Amino acid sequence: MSDKDPNFPPPPYPPGQHIIPPPRPASPATAEYRLNHLMLRIKDPEKSLRFYNDCFGLHTIFIFNTGAWTIYYLGPRDSSIQTLGTSKGLLELYHIPADASTQYTFGNDYTNPSGVGFGHIGFTVPDVAAALERVKSFGYEVIKPLDSAEVKDMAVPGAVVEGKEGEVVEGYKNVFRQLAFVRDPDGYWVEIVPQVVKS
């Protein structure tokens, strides 16, 4: 462990092992900080709300038209506009009509000349297979099914996972087989993870 920051032990890290740093010491200055939300740009609010509300169970907390674009704030059903400051797991969708002809970069396409960046958002569910059936019944695309640990499904260049940069360990492949990926209406990847991952 680093003497300077035990929460960031220096590499190298042994493949196939979880490195679990000790809890960070209390920090009065940041004691009330929480990751609150993620923002995605969307092309069609009706399609996006059907995906996130109807298929994945979020509810719309509020809609706000700024004049130039519209914001849709989504979250768990126990969230409200009064609890936004203390809520977790919120999703902010920006519909910007002026972007109608702008191509968005989704982050997992290494062939895109704009490059990569954002990877995916994730939902935990009690039963991944049932969630996938629900996604399919809504007509959305399954990118990576259960029980697959194919190189093409890992969202990194093939050369990385084919051994040129190091073999992907079987422990990770075991976890990867238990989760799935689907595509939202704008092309963003959405990961579906079991609440309990089997070792």
Task: Tell me which amino acid residue 38 is.
Answer: L
Query: Is residue 17, in this structure, part of any structural domain at all?
Result: no
Mean pLDDT for 103-112 is 76
Query: Is residue 29, in this structure, part of any structural domain at all?
Result: no
Mean pLDDT for 106-116 is 71
Phi, psi at residue 81, to the nearest 5°? -65, -30
Q: Are residues 80 and 131 in the same domain?
A: no
* Domain closes at, from 98, 132, 149: 98
For the beta carbon of residue 126, count every other beta carbon within 10 angstroms: 9
Which residue range is the domain that position 188 belongs to?
A: 120-194
Q: Give pLDDT, residue 44.
A: 96
Query: Is residue 105, in this structure, part of any structural domain at all?
Result: no
Q: Are residues 91 and 130 in the same domain?
A: no
Q: Can you say how many angstroms the Cα of residue 93 is from the centroid of all Cα atoms in its chain?
A: 14
Q: Are residues 94 and 125 in the same domain?
A: no
Q: Are residues 126 and 176 in the same domain?
A: yes
Q: Are residues 125 and 159 in the same domain?
A: yes
Give 34-69 pLDDT, tens digit per residue: 778 899 999 999 999 999 999 999 999 999 998 889
Query: Is residue 64, in this structure, part of any structural domain at all?
Result: yes
Domain count for the chain: 2
Is residue 181 classed exposed, middle or buried when 0-12, 13-18 and 19+ CB atoms within 10 A define those classes?
buried
Catalytic sites, residue numbers: 191
Phi, psi at residue 149, to the nearest 5°? -135, 45
Task: Tell me which amino acid residue 177 is.
Answer: R
**Total count of residues recorded for the chain:** 199
Query: Is residue 39, in this structure, part of any structural domain at all?
Result: yes
Query: Is residue 85, in this structure, part of any structural domain at all?
Result: yes
Q: Return d(Cα 8, Cα 22) in angstroms, integer.
A: 10
CATH classification of the domain holding 69 = 3.10.180.10
Mention every residue, 6+ apart, whose C-beta is less than 8 A from residue 73. Answer: 37, 60, 61, 62, 63, 64, 84, 90, 91, 92, 93
Give 4-40 pLDDT, tens digit per residue: 777 888 888 888 888 888 888 888 887 877 778 899 9
Query: Is residue 130, in this structure, part of any structural domain at all?
Result: yes
Q: Return d(Cα 184, Cα 123) in angstroms, integer.
A: 13
What 8-state DSSP symbol labels residue 24?
P
Q: Are residues 41 and 90 in the same domain?
A: yes
DSSP tally for the chain: helices H, then strands E: 4, 8
